[in-house]
Structure 1
């Protein structure tokens, strides 16, 4: 028996009592975008998921092929009639048993899906204001680069942003360098140089980050570098923008007293949409 919200009920009636994702954050996840029955950047998502599972010492089932996971995601999206434009999330968690030390490294998975209004990326040009979040810092370590279900810093920072009329916050690592935004990677354009923090700084190894780096390197006269970004550098930028696979590219219009243009990020959105169309 357990006490659930003031009522004594059977433990078997609440699946959370044995769920390691709930009890310990012992899980990883991937969020993907579907367009016309196709999962965008599927291979990158798959290999990041496999890498994350290995880092957490999870046992990868023999049937966990890229084709199998694609089939499972598309099957759910088709059932929910969201196959043409949707976001889907697959969460992989270690099976029941043990406390901090698991009794098994086998896994289960859960997939959810919901429709999206737009197939193409929009590159929203509305006012988008950000500031730094300094209450807590992200550890500069390998675990910070994977998508685990331990996102308490992102949650508290989201509440901070909401309370202060911000659209987003920029997170700092324990060296007080800027590493990412709440829902994506950060890029800074200075002149003809596009800068994003290296994964070794503790930022997420983002799938859209990889696409943007590749696209930017194909643009004439643009140099792409991965280097540390200090908070003092932000106000020297010509453009700042955030990337993830659901929204694509989100230009930042203002950081503190500095306003930014969005010409380069608009070009990146056009090139992303050309990829989808093909």
Structure 2
């Protein structure tokens, strides 16, 4: 009799142990089917990838979400919806999307952008944007007659900023009194740049400058050495840009190498 009681107690303890073990690795048991905690982990990763990091306080919400999904999935399977042709087609598209995403993620991991590549790209940026920056204003009009009249008004004491606000057809700078802010001369059309760099601080062009946009009256307000960010400040952006370029070439190479009939 004692042996039978001992066996029963032992069996109960073993069942309890297995139950605790199951709960440790599963989020829940829904209608007798285990819902693994890895589903919560995957959901958390998806949220983090979408810019919504999961905090410990959100664990109950994740658990509730995976349980709810399991309930709905079981009902869908009970109705044999997984045998539906439309479901199978959508499942195949989803499978392709996941595989392709994994392919590209694997490519990024196996072809990382190096610090040397970031530095080389930064050096190109500095070479193209270094030197002097010019703070200028301009008034843009369609005809030379309009430009000549404005030049005459300026010589009579007209205020450059006021005339720009009223008459400049450049919607970006016109509303700001013609202000173009600090810029490298290379960011303007050649005719504009050539006239700008010849001016001294405070000077206005002696005659209108014609470009593809119309006629410009330009005033140089100030000059300084280009204020460029340090390489560490723009490293994330440069790295992302190089990764995208490299990934795009990888995609193009795969497409070009494929035999398509």
Sort the TM-score into its range (normalised by shorter chain): under 0.3
Give the structure with the higher percent helix: 2
Give the structure with the higher percent strand: 1
